[in-house]
Amino acid sequence: MGAQVSVILPTFNRAHCVGQAIDSALQQTHRDLEVIIVDDGSVDGTRQFIKKKYGGMESIRYIHQENQGVAAARNTALRAAQGEFIAFLDSDDVWKPWKIELQIACMKKLPHIGMVWSDMEALGPDGAVINHHYLRTMYAAYRRFPLEKLFTERYDLPPISTSLDPRGALYAGDIFSPMVTGNLVHTSTALLRRDVADRVDGFNEELRHSGEDYDFHLRTCREGPVGFVDLATISYQTGMPDQLVRHSYWMAKNFLTTVTAALERDRERITLPPGMIDEVLAEANAWVAETLISAGEPRKASGYFRRSLYHKPWQPRALVQLILCHLPLGLAEAGRRAYRALRHRGM
């Protein structure tokens, strides 16, 4: 048998789709794995569904806990994991059958990398593929860093895993500094060595609403070189009603928290140009401010707009929004409508 893989699969009220994710793990061409399902307090029949369909399988371990959030659910699974490798799979994602086999081959090819992740394809509401390279669409940090500049090593995939003959390439390198500008890793595509996962020490449970994945992957990249497979190894379902759009404030706030903590802890190690760091901080503060405006809290937003302008003074939109934050509500809303109209006209 090959190296054992522990598959970390958290779920909450997704009885309608979790079976597809579980099946995609069980159908891997790499057979030596365990699937640890942590049910984070589901009340939709998830427990009954899993017990009925998978209850007799030795490779399935089911854990139920009170609802604590996805970070806590993943940490519960990590504590129970026994594998040499750790793979993450969210309950609305589906793996290609050869995903784990390919990634272990990449790990064997490059024993100095602690994690390998990949691209992913996006599915529309009807299940059809709408984007074969969705990672670089979903994660904006790729706009700053083309693959050729992000990594220092590149290898064609077929010699790495000849039985699969996949297209694409394997990239590798130290990307901790670029990761400070934003997440580059989709969790369900990632495979880690167990010793690296142990050093990273789990997900930050204080980031309960969102952003725990970025924080975890940033700390993983801090541990040393990582690898990226330029090939979609999972299918990602877009348009799920329980995805994190409704938590946009927490997405923005937790992103700013993660970046700020990294800069405070590792400023001497981070090799980004000062101007790029200021740009990231300006964007992050403005993002938080915009979500507070949408939530009807302009006074709180004004402080974040000020910090954004401190890092990047020439931001007409942020300056206008800051001024509007201090006007009466009716005048502020009229001002925002007028400003949007002007921008729409290209003025």
Give per-residue pLDDT as tens, 12-47. 999 999 999 999 999 999 999 999 999 999 999 999
Are 237 and 295 within one domain?
Answer: no
State the pLDDT at residue 3.
Answer: 59
- Please name the residues in contact with 252: beta carbons below 8 A apart, sequence gap of 6 or more: 284, 287, 288, 290, 291
Report the CATH number at residue 225. Answer: 3.90.550.10
- Considering only CA atoms, which of 58, 287, 74 is closest in space to residue 187? 74
State the pLDDT at residue 36.
Answer: 98
Does residue 314 sit within a domain? yes
State the pLDDT at residue 246.
Answer: 45
Tokens of 259: 């970046």
Are 236 and 277 within one domain?
Answer: no
State the pLDDT at residue 345.
Answer: 65
Mean pLDDT per block of 10 residues along the chain (347 residues) reads: 82 94 97 96 94 94 96 97 97 96 96 98 92 94 93 92 78 98 98 97 91 97 97 89 63 96 96 97 97 93 97 94 87 74 63
Q: Which of 246, 265, 284 is the last residue of a domain?
A: 246
Does residue 322 sit within a domain? yes
Quick one: CA torsion of 113, 210, 96, 37, rounded to 10 degrees? 100
- Per-residue b or e along 298-329, where b marks 16 or more CB atoms closer than 10 Å to that residue's CB: beebbebbebbbebbeebeebebbbebbeeee
- Per-residue b or e along 134-156, where b marks 16 or more CB atoms closer than 10 Å to that residue's CB: bbbeeeebbebbeeeebbeeeee
Tokens of 234: 């999972």
Q: Give 3-state DSSP helix, strand, coil % of the chain, rounded to 5.
A: 45, 20, 35
Are 175 and 231 within one domain?
Answer: yes
Are 232 and 147 within one domain?
Answer: yes
State how many domains the chain has. Answer: 2
Does residue 195 sit within a domain? yes
Are 163 and 214 within one domain?
Answer: yes
Note the pLDDT tens digit of each residue in 126-165.
889 999 999 999 999 999 998 989 999 999 998 887 767 6
Are 301 and 195 within one domain?
Answer: no
Does residue 266 sit within a domain? no
Domain that holds residue 314: 273-344
Does residue 83 sit within a domain? yes
Does residue 16 sit within a domain? yes
Q: Is 76 helix (H, G, I), strand (E, B) or coil?
A: helix
State the pLDDT at residue 1.
Answer: 40
